[in-house]
Structure formats: structure tokens, C-alpha cells
Structure 1
Amino acid sequence: MKRFFLSALLALCLTGFGVQGAEVPRKGTDANLFGHVVDRATHEHIPYATVSVVGTPLGTTTDASGHYYLKNLPEGTLTVEVRALGYAVQQASVTLTRGATRELNFEVEQSGISMDEVVVSASRSATLRREAPALVSVLDAGLFEKAGASCLAQGLSFQPGVRVENDCQNCGFTQVRINGLDGHYSQILVDSHPVFSALTGVYGLEQIPANMIERVEVLRGGGSALYGSSAIGGTINVITKEPTRSSAQFAHTLMSLGGSNSYDNTSMLNASIVSESGRAGLGIFGQSRHRSGYDHNGDGFTELPVLDSRSVGMRSYFRTGAYSRITAQYHHLNEYRRGGNLLDRPPHEANVAEQTDHTIDGGSLSFDLSSADRSDRFNVYASFQNTARKSYYGSKQDLRAYGTTRDLVVASGLQYVHAFERLLFMPSELTLGAEYSYDDLHDRSVGYAIDTGQQVHIVGGYFQNEWKTGKWSLLLGGRLDKHNLVDHVIFSPRVNVRFNPSEAVNLRVSYAAGYRAPQAFDEDLHIAIVGGERVRIRLADDLKEERSHSVSLSADLYHNFGSVQTNLLVEGFYTRLDDVFALRDIEDTDDGGKIKERYNGSGATVAGVNVEGRAVFTRWFELQAGMTWQRSRYAEPEQWSEDPEVPSVRRMFRTPDLYGYFTATFKPLRRLTADVTGTCTGEMLVQHMKGSGVAQDVAVTTPAFCDVNLRVAYDLRLYRDITLQLYGGVQNLFNAYQKDFDRGVERDSGYIYGPSLPRSWFVGAKVSF
């Protein structure tokens, strides 16, 4: 089966290149287009607007003076589209002939709320967000900057239904929850490819630098019909930055943690170069970050670990013709982190130490080909990620707690899309695809005689047909997966209905299924220290896959009240989990540690409502806020403690019934910007294991808290298109930091909640040209 799949993949690659070889003309058409892009109200030229030919990979950006030039375009009538940040999308048609140069100018209107964002996560094909069959939320690079985010983890929470939490007081293990479900219920993709493994998931949210990200697309609800295993509660698609013009940017931020002598230093570099013809482009990024360990309560043990990371990467493209292109992406990440006490000594000399050293290399290569009328589109890709980790998870000067872990993930796939002018009752788009993924994990701890090996092979095929017009769409699809750890083939269906009674009203109903196979997950590869003892997780022998069924109903509304632009999103969701994975204490080990077992519980349901509103009052002030109300319960009470006197619970841990976020941007002067961002979290249930804090395991109801951030920036034009930005601000303005941490070597490192940082002041500078 695998041999057949790989042979088919290679054949498609060769066929695609062969077809394209016949398509590329030997000489240019000399059909050229030039013009400018200006603001309709002020008539000021708009620099760095994207100008593209619809239906082709051809495009460019306006220069610093707001002018553009496209040459050697296809002959005939073309649709040209202009996109610029803060402006409505505009299209115009033009007819080009060989050897002739035409002028096409654009006057675009300001629009703080875009209805025409392009997304790919809803159907694995580029489509306008308002016409997508499923609701997709988008986080762009600008929001990461507003939040002062240096990594993916610090910007993800600014979407309804999404929370990022810190789950370890020693090492800073983070996870993202979608609609309240644990992090392992979400599939994280890089450029739509499933290479984010269980090992990467332990610390990966902090290892992806913000300056690597173009945007993040969040698809809530089961996504296994598109993306396979683990897309049971939602999908997070990280789209990396693509070069669009020749430019460079360098920034450095210095942050003081809690007003102490612990600092977080982050330097970021981006540079890109695009050929004059726009046929090829190369973008690179780099980040260097060092954060000192931070001890909040003065007990000598860190609440935030030492973090020392370096990352570098690139993304490039080459247009082999008017309707095809090759895209390559590569990244290298190295991260060292250490938490506990006695940080200047070897970890085995400390009372508590959690230390990891990661080296990660990953990348992808893809080829896209389409017909001239875009009725047929092909894509083939191959991607990989290799992770090597050296670790120490131990306490009380334990020499045996060293370990090594290696993980290789390979994913490849092909996809074909055909557009029918009419299929049965309306136009439709048929998508067929196949994927193969391989995950080879080897986790070893010699001192404890632990040698865990796991190989996962998944062969999958997916299909969907979307009947669609501007007003209606009906999508029927599904995916078949054969997972080597599951005896049978798994089928995951999806159904989506969209109705747009007007351009400003988008109504959707969706059903999707998801599954999660019985394999090692991120927290299984993180060894917690509780009460001075190592706690490991193992899988039950009879563990079977977990299934989900998700239903959502949403209304996405746009309206202008005079000059005030508004958008209101209301989404109701319901997810049922069958054979839900749960943890229970089973035994103490001979080496003084504890083992928890993952088993199939009774099931669970999650239901609630997401509400999000956006308003642009003037060009100087805009506001965005979202709120989630939900209820997360197990079907039957789950026994989570080995102590029989501790009561079972039905409520899911770390899932507040009410939480949300907000962002506000003030621009009183053209070059002065102030951003206020924040997240608010209601009461939730958190496990507090016996140790230095409590004498008996207890489920604690935590207080509500709000984490508010302020960032102020001022732009100085140094020379023509060279800009210096000076910025500063504060994270966790009201210092809503946890006040009841455990203390000392016997502490429960998992008893942690609240904002990830204490009140922390920062300053920085950024040069762009």
C-alpha cells in the first residue's frame, strides 16, 4: 500500500512537471501592466499593496511610492486584484495583447474590517472567508505585534473559544485549548502539513517564533475529515511568511520580569528579496531569545524556566509558468530550558530540575499547477520534521533521570480539484486527495530502564464535493484512514451548509467527525515532578481510539452604522466525545515514582456559545472582543486521584465556563499607536496534588482573572522608506499573577494557573526598510 502510494506520488510529480514543461513559452509575451494604488479619500499613494492576477500565481507589490509594474502577462482579459492592510479589496478587468503595455490605476477605500480574507483551512483550497463552507478565524501578523508576542503561544488566545495555558511550574509546558478541550485534541499544521508531532507539542507553542508567521487560521470543531488523526476538537494552521517584496526588518525587545533582575531579551530578523519579474522570491527569518529564570515567591525554585533559543529559516518560491509554482520551506530551531532550583549547577545536583535541549529541523517542498481557467488544480507536497531532545526530569539529586528522545515525522500528499460548471443542480468543486504520514518516536531513559519506541503509519484518502454559488453552498465529504495502531479503517464524514442572503450576512451549519488514535501524546513525554516524585504516563493495553462528533451553527454579520464599521459573530457549538481518554493513578514504581494510566473513560460533552464583535469607529480607534460561554462535563464522574476519599468529578479540569479576550487600537497621531490587549478567564477546576501546599489531593476552584497588556509605539521616518519604530509597554498590567504557588522541593509543579507572566515592563526598537 505504501509502495503504491509513493509511486503514485512520484508519478504525479513527474506528470506535473511534464505538463508544465509543455506550457512554459520560450519567449515572453511582452504584455505589460503598470499603474498606481491610491487612497480614494486622501489620494495618497499606498506603498506595499499587493497587486495580483486572479487565478494565477502572478503578482507583485507597489513600491514605496505606491506604483507597480507587471510584465510578460498572459494575453487576453485578466482580472487584477488589489489588497492592502486597512483597505477593502478591489478588482478590475483589463485586456492585454502581445507587445502592448497598459495602464491600470486603483483608488481603494479604507475598511478596518475585511470580508474578503483568503483562507485555506476550511476546504484545503484557497477561498474567500465569507464564502468558506466552514467558519475560519484568522490571526494575522499585526495582532501578534499588538500583543507584544514573540512566539505562537503568546498570540493564540485572541480568538473566541481558544485559550493557551501554562501547565508546569518547573519547565513551562504550554498547551492550547479549543472550546475547552485539551491540547492533544487539536491538530497543529505548518503550511497545512501535519508535521507537528506529540514530542514537538510539549514545548512547540513557544518554539515557533512570531516573526515566522504570516497568519494563523483556526478551525473549531472536528477536522479529521480533512486532516486526519488528532483533529478531533479543532485545527490550528500556521501559515509561514511568504516573500512579496524586497525588504528587511530587525527588532529587539528587552523585558524585565516582575520588576526583578530577571530579563527576557528577544532579537528578530526578517529579510526578503523578490526578482524584478516576480518569478522568484526568497524570505528568511531569524530569532534569538534568552530569558532568565524567574522565582516569584522567593523559595529558590523557578515559576518561569530559563529559556535560551535560536531559530532560523526560509521560505522561497519559483514560478515555473503562468499557472504553476514550486514552494520550499525550511526551519532550524534550537532551544534550551531549565527550571527548578540551583540553576547554575548540573541538574542532578539540584533538589528539583526539569531541563531539555531541543534541536529541530523541518521543511517542506510543494508543487502547484492549474489550468488557465482554474477549473483543474493539482498540488503535491512532501514535508518532514526531525526532533532530537536531551532531557532531565528529576528531583533529590537523582543521577538516573537523564533521557534522550528522537522523533522523525514525514508527511506527503497529493490533491486534485476540479470545478464543474454544473453538477446536478448547481456549480460545484470536487476535491480528491491522498496522504501518507510516518512518525518514528524513540524515548529512552537508561537510568530507569525505560526504552519506548513507537512507529505510526497512517495512509489516508479524502474526498469532498462542494456545490456552491455566491449565495448557497452544500459540502459533503469524508476521509478514510488506516492507522497501524488501529485494527480497522476509520471513516470521518463532514457536512457543511452555507447561506448568504446578502454579502453582509453569512449563515453556516456544520457537522464533522474526528478521531484520536491510541498513541503517545505530548503530556506523555513530559515527566512532571509532584511532591518531589517523578510522575509518568503509560497507555492501557486495551486503549482504543477516541471519537468526536461536532455540530456548529453560526451567523457572521457585517453592517455599517454611518461611518462605523461593525462585525458580529455568534457561534453555537456542541461536541460529543466517545471513549474519551482519561488518566488514573495505578501504582508506585520501585524507583519511588508514580505511574498514571491512560484509559477509555465514559465519554464527555462540550457545548457552548462563542460571540465575537469588531467595530472600527474611526481611522484612529478600533475595538475587537470575544467571549465564550461553555459547559464541559464527563458523562460519568471520573476518579482522578488514587486517594479513595477524594471525590470524583464530572466537570473537566482547566475548562472555565466563561472566558474571552479583547483588543483595542488607538491612533491619535499618524505615527503614534497605542494597543491594549487582554484575556479574561472565569473560575475553573484545577487539580492540586498533595505536597508542600496541601496534605491531600484536592480539586481547587480558582479565582477569575484578567491579563491586560499595553503597548505604545511611535514611528520615525529616517530616510525615504527606512522607518524606525520605538515601542514600550507592560504585560499583565494589573499583576493578576497567581498568589498561591506551592513552595519548595515538595511542591506540585502542575498546580499553576493564571497569566503566564507577572507584571513585566518592556521596551524595544524596530528598523524596517
Structure 2
Amino acid sequence: MAGMLRSFYILLFVAASLAANGQGRLKGSVTAGEGPVPFATVGFKDLKTGAVTDEGGQFILQNIPPGKHVLQVSAVGYLTSTQNIVIKPSGTTSVLIRLEPSSSNLGEVVVSGTLRPVTKMESPVPVEVYSPVFFRKNPTPSIFDALQNVNGVRPQLNCNVCNTGDIHINGLEGPYTMVMIDGMPIVSALSTVYGLSGIPNSLVERVEVVKGPASTLYGSEAVGGLINIITKSPATAPILSADVMATSWQEYNADLGWRFKAGTKAQSLLGLNYYNYQDPADHNGDGFTDVTQQHRISIFNKWTFTRKNDRAASLAARYFYEDRWGGQTQWDKQWRGTDSIYGESIYTSRVEVLGQYQLPTVPRLMLQGSFNYHNQNSVYGTTWFLAKQTIAFAQLTWDKEIGKHNLLAGLPFRYTFYDDNTVVTTEKGVNKPEKTFLPGIFVQDEIKLAPAHNLLLGMRYDYNSLHGNILTPRVAYKWSPNYKNVLRLNAGTGYRVVSIFTEDHAALSGAREVVIQSELKPERSWNANINYTKKIPLGNAFLGLDATAFYTHFSNRIMPDYSRPDSILYDNLKGYAISKGFSLNADVAFSFPLKIMAGATLMDVYQKENGVRTRQMLTEQFTGTWSVSYAFKRAGLTVDYTGNIYGPMLLPVQPKDPRPAKSPVWSIQNVQLTKKLGKEWEIYGGVKNLLNFLPPSNSIAHAHDPFDKRPGFNADGSVDPYNMTFDPAYVFAPNQGIRGFLGVRFTKL
């Protein structure tokens, strides 16, 4: 019996050895356009076998049963690759996997940080990159709305009635954010919100966000940061694209794009955006529209030209028109500017032209130029605001690599013409348009100190025809011992020349008078931030962390004073203002088709004057964003769950105001399903504002008497113990509840 058992075990061992010897091995490498992809997760979907690529993008999988298996490869910043692999018995199978970039590509080429094309990981200035893949997780009718999903960036509504707003970066208001198209300051301070509205999403290649002063390269307005909208190249854009969406609130949006050739040396990209909302809904019962009625059209056309030695040449233009109004629901255009029925009506026309041309010289000389004209005809109750602004910009840059030095020098020039019908352009009762000439020069040197060490030094000098000489230095240092770790230190200064219109839209509501208490001086700021990026392989997942601590000190800060219910007082702060905080972004990609992106920012923004510290109004102390995506590959279905959360903000209230002086913690959450129909079509739909969060129904003070004809009395004629007057400035969140949406996309490459 013992001999039989011994023989059985020997046979079992031999069979197991033969089975093991019959198994195969898979050896390969994972690459992308810019080279190997380290720390990518590699595994078979039908087997419990996996590995992570090394720093050279190489991997080996052992003891694989022979036959056909499904290999899946994923990495942060790239689309997951799935393909069938046939494993040979008792042999080695070799494969080469190429990954395509996705919405958060770590190898993305960026230009906003240094004005020179460089991969995101190599840039000494931290640059966040967002592609249409990211924004499609929560589709919106404009880039302005889409930025709500970016950590530390918040679209802020400034008016309950007209719904115009600005972009906050790390708690700093919209006037501190420079908005550019293709690297040029095409969006003026007067019209940040209009510049971001109407840019067809289908024509956006990516959006680059730099947080912190960038005045050394970009001049005024780039104090809190910059948003650079990079449009697609006519050479690589889809031949035809269309994206049409509607919501249950009767909002309709269409984005169309068409690429065509004109001869052998010119290619063009034509885009159209159309948005329409004409339902004067009043769900909160205050007698006012919850959301402004809008009719908007934008036409964009970009040309690129083929030249010798691949020299650059491009020209683009955009026309934008919008008719928007909000107010009492029975308002129509016959009441515009009268004191019978209250309405805020805004007609906006914009023309933008921008281009670049590389000179036919051996030194790399690039000439860039842009021009924009903005005409605004607005009325807020009985208060008219008529404004025109023209900005002409030209810049010549020289780029040269000498040994360990990457030198960049530029000669920028900017001319601004501004005129309106307010006290801003009035002197001794006579209209005096503001004309500003701003020539300058900047020099930047990026030095390769060692393989892991980069140092960037920069200096800019501007001469402002109204305010004189302005210097803005900058220094940045990057230490990258390996692919997993990058440390960046940045410090610099910023300055901003003030445009009162952008300071507070409440100034034009008709409820408050603008009072400028003294001649306003340019604001100055000093900023320092430290950024650390960490990549962590987790077996069947990959974690990317991006942490930043920031600190900004302001002098001459322009501050609005709301202490009087009938006016806003503007003056330079006699003390100083501080914006400081910490932000963290996390990006997790699993070997199976689950991707999680989340971010949080803690902020402390305040001013100190005469020993008294005051927290900045309409600025949250913490904010968070998230995006969770899961793909059902076989069904061609993707689920996206996105959201944001904001901490309490101080709100402008009247002396005896019964409304809370602080907003609650609030959150907007959305869910979306996307179904692919072949290679060219996809349909998507979902629900926005799942929690149906709404601000208080009494956000518009004294809404029953918008012209203050019976101050101190309620709508029923009883005495108002709070003595409220009309004021729509109490706003912190969109007044749009839960709603469904449905859309369809078509893309022909």
C-alpha cells in the first residue's frame, strides 16, 4: 500500500512539472508618444496575474497558461489599453503596448508656465492640464461652467438677477485671474465671463491652469493665476464634430466644428456655439427669474499655414454676441430702463483676432499679436452701463538654448482703450476715456544645474503710462530625483491695474452707488508656493498625488466697503491682505476600468487694517472636488459621478438683515451615463444637482419693491421691522435646482 501511494505522488509531481513546463511567459514594454511609461499596471483580465512596469516601461509576466487571453494595461494620464494576446506553450511572447493620452496626461506638453513648450513633468512651474475628456464628465454649455470641477478654481456668480460672474483661483476674485486664448491676453478685464462663454467646447484642445502670480511673463491681471485656453490645430482636429445637448429646464446648447483644407498650404477650423434659454421660471416664488434668459452665439475660425522648416504661422478670429436678461418674470424689452417693472438686460458684442508668425531667421523669433473689441449695452433697473473696451497686444520673443541655459526674452506692448458712462471715466464732469500704453521687456533663463535640478530666473519691466515703472521678478526651482518624485519651489511678484467694473457687479445693480474715495494705486503682491508631486504604484492601481502650499501678500489691495446699504466704497487698503492655504489633488487609476480624481483646498483669505483682521467676503475656507468614472467595456457604457463641496462664506448683508451673514456648507453633485454607438457616435445623459441644493428663497432682499418706492414696508403693506431695501448681491450658489440632461456627440476623424 505504501509503495502504491509513493508511485501515485511521483506521478502527480511529474504531471504538475509537465503542466508548469507547458506554461508560457509574456515580456514587453509600455510606451507613449514621448517615450516609455513607467509604473503602468499590466494584467490579464481572465487571470489573477499582474505586474507593474519598471522605470524603463518594461515588464515580465510568468507562468501563464497557453492560449488566448485578454491583456489590460493602464496608467495615470493614459487611456486603458485592452488587447488579445496568444501565449505560446513553454516559450516567451513579446509585445509592445502603446498608450494614448487621456485627461490628465503627465507627459502633456504645456506652455503657460514658461512660454516655452515643455512636458508637464519637466516644467519648473506647476501647471495643471485639463482636456475635453475631463470636462465631458460633466458637460456644460461653456468653459466658465466647466471649471467648477477644477480643484481650487470656482466660478462665482456675482448677481442674483443677471447671473454674471468671475473665476476665483485659491480664493482670489476674478480680476486677479488672467484668461488667455492660445497664450494671448484676448480676454480683457471687462469681460472675463463673456470671454469664457461661447468658446465651443469641441474646439478646445486643453485648458492650462497656473495658480499664483505670473506677471513676469504676462503682466497685469496675472496676480492670482492664469487660465490659458488652447484651441485645436486645424491640422489635427476632427474633420467634423457636433455636440448637441438639452436639459429639462429647456436649455439648448450646440457645439459644431468643421476642418477643411484651402489649397496645399492652408488648413482651417471653423466652430460654432449656440446657446438658448428662454423660460422665465420662478420656482422660489420671489417674483424674479431663477436663471437669466440667454440667447448666445459665437463663431470661431482658425487658420494654420504650411511653411519651410516647419515655421509657425496661424491666424484666428472670433465673434461673440449675447442677449441676456433677468428680473421680474413679467419683464420684456419695453420696460428696459424704466422704473415700472425691474429687469437687468445686457447686450454684449465682442470681436477677437489673434495670430502668430515665426520670422524666417536663424534665431528663433516669434511675433504674436491680438486685438479685441468689446461693446456692452447694459441696464440694471434704471441704471445704464454703456462701456467700450479695445485692447491691442503685440509681442516679439527670442528663444535660444546655450549650453545649460534656455534663454527666453520678449518685447511686449499692450494698448488699452476704455470708456463707460460712470465716474470711472469722468473728470470734473467731462467724459475722459482711459487710454493706457504698456510697453515692456522680460528676460527668463532656465538653467540645468544638474540632471535632477533646474533653476528658473526671470525679470520683467513695464512702463504704464498712468502709473509709471513696474518691476516683477520671479524665481523657480525644480528638483526631480526620479520619475516618482518632483519638488518645485516658486516665488515672484504680481501687479494689477484696476478696472472698477470687474471689482463687484453689485455696483451696477441699481441698488448701490459707486463711490471712489481716492485715486486708486496699482495693487502689488508677493507670492511663494511649494509643490510636491508623488507617484505611487499600488499593485493593481496607481496613485498620483499633487500637493501645494501657497502664500500671497498684497499691498494697495482694492477693497469694496458694503457698510452703507445704498453704496459701495472703493479705496486702497491702508494695511495688507493675505491669501494662504494648502491644496491636494489625488488621481487613482486601477487595472480594471475605474478611475478616481479628487481634490481639496484649505484657504485663509483676509485683510488687516488698523490692527483689525477681517475675513474676505464671498470666499470659502475649504473646497473639494471629485470625479469617479467606471467603464463597462463590453457594453460601451461609462458612468461618471462628479461633484464639489464648498465651505461657508461671509455674505453682504444689510444693517438689520434677518438673513444669515454666512452661507451653509453646500454641494453640487451630478451623474452621467455615456453610451458609445460605433466609433463616431455617442449618446449621453444624466442628472445635475442631484441633491437639489438651492440658496435661500429670500436671497434677493426686498424683491417685491425693486425700485425702493415703499422702503420699510412689506409686500402686504405691513411695516418691515428690518427696514430692508432692494439688493441682489446676496449670492453664493446657482439658483438652479435638480434637472435632467440629454445629448449626442458625433466625431469624424
- What TM-score does the superposition give when structure 2 sets the normalisation length? 0.79
Structure 2 CA distance, aligned partners of 1:654 and 1:523? 13
Contact 1:185–1:231 (Cα < 8 Å) also in 2: yes
Correspondence list, 1:61-140, <5 A: 86-87=78-79, 107-109=97-99, 114-140=105-131
In 2, Cα distance between equivalents of 1:179 and 1:371: 42
In the TM superposition, what is the alpha-carbon distance from 1:304 to its structure 2 partner?
Answer: 1.3
Q: Cα distance 1:84–1:324, how it changes in 2: closer, same or farther (>3 A)?
A: farther
1:202-255: per-residue Cα shift (whole Å, max 9, x none)?
A: 543334343342211111111111110111111111112222055111221111
Q: In the alignment, what sits opposite 1:600?
A: 573
The 1:313/1:619 distance shift into structure 2, 3 A limit, reads: farther
User: Could you say which residue in structure 2 is the equivalent of 1:471?
Assistant: 452
CA contact 2:202–2:243 (8 Å) conserved in 1: no
Distance change >3 Å, CA 408–CA 111, structure 1 → 2: closer
SS in 2 for 1:334: strand
Displacement of 1:603 in angstroms is 1.1
**Following TM superposition, by how much is the alpha carbon of 1:564 offset from its aligned partner in structure 2, in angstroms?**
1.1
Q: 2:414 aligns with which of 415, 418, 437?
A: 437
Indicate yes or no: 2:477 matched with 1:502. Answer: no
Task: Give the letter for the 1:248 counterpart.
Answer: L
The answer on whether the counterparts of 1:550 and 1:575 sit within 8 Å (CA) in structure 2 is yes
Change (3 A) 1:246 1:544: closer
Q: Distance in 2 between matches of 1:189 and 1:388?
A: 19
1:751 to 713, 722, 730: 730
> Kindly tell me: are residues 543 and 111 of structure 1, through their superposed partners in 2, closer, same or farther at Cα, counting changes over 3 Å?
closer
Shift of 1:172: 0.5
Q: How big is the shift at 1:107?
A: 4.2
Shift of 1:559: 2.4
CA distance in 2, matches of 1:334, 1:559: 48
1:468-488 CA-to-partner distances (Å, cap 9, x unmatched) read 2552100111110111120x3
> Who is 2:331 aligned against?
343
Q: Percent identity?
A: 25
* 2:684 paired residue among 710, 713, 727: 727
In structure 2, what is the Cα distance between the partners aligned to 1:519 and 1:600?
Answer: 16
Amino acid at match of 1:534: A
Equivalent position amino acid for 1:734 in 2 = L
Question: Are 1:555 and 2:548 matched, yes or no?
Answer: no
**Hey, what's the Cα distance between the residues in 2 that align with 1:436 and 1:321?**
28
SS at structure 1 position matched to 2:189 = coil
Q: Deviations over 1:533-552 (max 9, x none)?
A: 43243544332111111101
Counterpart of 1:666?
A: 630
**Which residue of 496, 506, 513 corresponds with 2:493?**
513
Partner of 1:69: none
2:300 is matched with: 313
Find the counterpart in structure 2 of residue 163 from structure 1: 154
Task: Give the partner amino acid of 1:485.
Answer: L
Larger Cα-atom Rg: 2
Q: Deviations over 1:304-363 (max 9, x none)?
A: 111110111111211211230211111111101001112334223553211111111101
Asked if 2 retains the 8 angstrom alpha-carbon contact of 1:393 and 1:527, the reply is no
The Cα RMSD (Å) is 3.1
Which runs of 5 or more residues in structure 2 are unaligned? Answer: 1-25, 36-74, 82-94, 707-724
Equivalent pair of 1:444/1:452 in contact (CA under 8 Å): no
Secondary structure of the 1:686 match is coil
Deviation at 1:109, TM superposition (A): 3.7
| Residue 585 of structure 1: how far off its partner (Å) | 5.8
Residue number in structure 2 paired with 1:711: 672
SS in 1 for 2:337: helix
Instruction: Give 5+ residue unaligned stretches, structure 1.
Output: 1-40, 53-82, 90-104, 258-262, 422-426, 639-647
Partner of 2:66: none
Aligned residues of 2:198 and 2:297 also touching (Cα < 8 A):
no
The CA distance in 2 between the partners of 1:84 and 1:275, in whole Å, is 39
- Counterpart contact for 1:294–1:305, Cα < 8 Å: no
The match for 2:461 among 465, 480, 504 is 480
- Contact 1:133–1:473 (8 Å) recurs in 2: yes
Per-residue CA distance 1:107-144 (angstroms, 9 max, x = gap) = 41467663211100110011011110110111211122
Contact 1:408 1:441 survives alignment (8 Å)? yes
Q: CA separation in 2, counterparts of 1:85 and 1:624?
A: 11
Question: For residue 62 of structure 1, what is the aligned residue in structure 2?
Answer: none
| 8 A Cα contact 2:533 2:547, kept in partner | yes
**Secondary structure of residue in 1 paired with 2:139:** coil
Q: Which residue of the other structure, out of 514, 521, 529, is the alignment partner of 1:537?
A: 514
C-alpha distance in 2 between matches for 1:624 and 1:498:
25
Q: Is the 8 A contact 1:583 1:596 kept in 2?
A: yes
| Offset at residue 283 of structure 1 (A) | 1.0
Deviates more, 1:167-176 or 1:246-255: 246-255
**1:571-603 C-alpha deviation (Å, 9 max, x unpaired):** 111111112111236989xxxx64533333421
Aligned to 2:469: 489
CA deviation string 1:580-636 (max 9, x = no partner): 111236989xxxx64533333421111111100001113521010000012112123
The answer (yes or no) to whether the contact 1:198–1:520 under 8 Å persists in 2 is no
The aligned counterpart of 1:578 is 555
2:229 to 238, 247, 250: 238
> Quick one: which amino acid aligns to residue 524 of structure 2?
R
Q: Which amino acid aligns with 2:551?
A: Y
Q: How many residues of Structure 1 are paired with residues of Structure 2 in the alignment?
A: 635
Task: Give the Cα–Cα distance (whole angstroms) in 1 for the partners of residues 536 and 503 of structure 2.
Answer: 44
Structure 2 match to 1:358 = 348
Calculate the TM-score normalised by the size of structure 1.
Answer: 0.77
Distance across 1 between alignment mates of 2:430 and 2:97:
66
Q: In the alignment, which residue of structure 2 is the partner of 1:252?
A: 244
Deviation string, structure 1 residues 441-475 (Cα, Å, up to 9, x no partner): 111379x9894621121111111101025521001
Identify the residue that residue 36 of structure 1 maps to in structure 2.
Answer: none
Deviations 1:652-708 (A, max 9, x none): 111111111011111113421111111110112111236xxxx44987111101110
Aligned 8 A contact 2:34 2:107 in 1? no
Aligned counterpart in structure 2 of residue 628 of structure 1, from 587, 601, 623 = 601
Counterpart CA distance in 2 for 1:110 and 1:379 is 31
- Residue matched to 2:135: 144
Contact residue 532 and residue 547 of structure 2 kept, 8 A = yes
Contact 1:536-1:594 within 8 A present in 2 as well:
yes
Change in CA separation of 1:106 and 1:381 when aligned onto 2, cut-off 3 Å: farther
* 1:97 alignment partner in structure 2: none
User: Residues 133-170 of structure 1, C-alpha deviation per residue, up to 9 Å, x if partnerless?
Assistant: 11011121112211112201111132332111111111
1:153 and 1:381, CA in 2 relative to 1: closer, same or farther beyond 3 A? Answer: same
Distance 1:246-1:674 versus aligned 2 partners, 3 A rule:
closer
Name the SS for the 1:114 alignment partner.
coil
Residues 472-481 or 558-567, more deviating: 558-567
Cα distance change on mapping 1:658 and 1:246 into 2, 3 Å: closer
Is this contact kept in 2: 1:604–1:633, CA < 8 A?
Answer: yes
Aligned in 2, Cα 1:403/1:604: closer, same or farther, shift over 3 Å? closer
Aligned counterpart, 2:741:
762
Picking from 265, 269, 282, the partner of 2:268 is 282
What SS does structure 2 have at the residue aligned with 1:171? coil
Q: Distance in 2 between matches of 1:585 and 1:115?
A: 45
Do the aligned partners of 1:202 and 1:522 also contact (CA within 8 Å) in 2? Answer: no
Q: Indicate conservation of the 8 Å contact 1:548/1:578, yes or no.
A: yes
Post-superposition CA distance 1:406-461 (Å, at most 9, x none):
1111111010011012xxxxx11011001111111111379x98946211211111
What corresponds to 2:401 in structure 1? 419
Q: Secondary structure at the match of 2:651?
A: strand
Contact 1:246 1:273 in 2 (8 A): no
1:280 Cα deviation after fit: 3.6
State how far apart, in whole Å, the 2-side matches of 1:183 and 1:364 are. Answer: 23
